[in-house]
């Protein structure tokens, strides 16, 4: 049986963050979504809601979506509270303590659903000059987890 896997990626909305509104060439807001890739390497379509303006998007591929004009709410979009029910309490407490956004919760849920032991979830990420640092949640198995620091890059 082939396991499904997932990926976090950006979706572009039609809204513009306030700090970019006065620009002649506006920068449209992008937000992170988590998509499941099926065994045929196809993105499973889903709905996502912009975290800035609330517009509903149908995610159809990596970094691609269709906006549903005039639709600012859809009750079938899963929430963090929906996902909490399918995760161990220790993971729920940890993700809450890092104030993780919905895509991270969806990633954790898929890892447990597919029993993708050894998978890692980025909890924090910071860029300091040419160094990227942060913390990872490593899910060893259904009951063993650990948080580790990481650092990528070197400053010359």
Residue 32 corresponds to which tokens in the numbers above? Answer: 């992170």
Residue 132 confidence (pLDDT):
94
- Regions of the chain where pLDDT drops below 50: none
pLDDT for residue 36: 96
First to last CA, the chain: 46
Residue spans per domain, the chain: 5-68, 80-152
Q: Which residues contact 138 (CB under 8 A, 6 or more apart)?
A: 118, 119, 120, 145, 146, 147, 148
| H or E, element range at 76 | none
Determine the pLDDT at residue 73: 75
Structure-block tokens of residue 153: 């890059």
Q: Which residue has the tokens 């303006």?
A: 53
CA 122, distance to chain mean position in Å, is: 10
Confidence at residue 9, expressed as pLDDT on a 0 to 100 scale: 97
Is 52 in contact with 31 (CB distance < 8 Å)? yes
What's residue 63's pLDDT? 95
**DSSP string for 14-65:** EEE-GGGTT-SSPPEEEEEEEEEE-TTS-BPPEEEE-TTT--EEEEEETTEE
């Amino acid at each position: 049986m082939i396991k499904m896997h997932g990926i976090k990626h950006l979706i572009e909305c039609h809204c513009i963050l306030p700090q970019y509104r006065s620009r002649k060439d506006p920068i449209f807001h992008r937000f992170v979504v988590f998509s499941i890739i099926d065994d045929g390497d196809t993105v499973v379509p889903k709905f996502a809601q912009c975290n800035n303006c609330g517009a509903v998007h149908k995610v159809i591929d990596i970094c691609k979506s269709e906006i549903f004009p005039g639709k600012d709410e859809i009750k079938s979009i899963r929430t963090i509270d929906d996902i909490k029910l399918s995760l161990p309490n220790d993971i729920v407490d940890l993700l809450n303590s890092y104030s993780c956004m919905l895509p991270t919760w969806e990633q954790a849920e898929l890892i447990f659903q597919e029993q993708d032991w050894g998978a890692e979830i980025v909890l924090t990420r910071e860029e300091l000059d040419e160094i990227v640092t942060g913390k990872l949640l490593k899910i060893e198995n259904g009951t063993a987890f650990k948080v580790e620091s990481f650092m990528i890059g070197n400053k010359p």
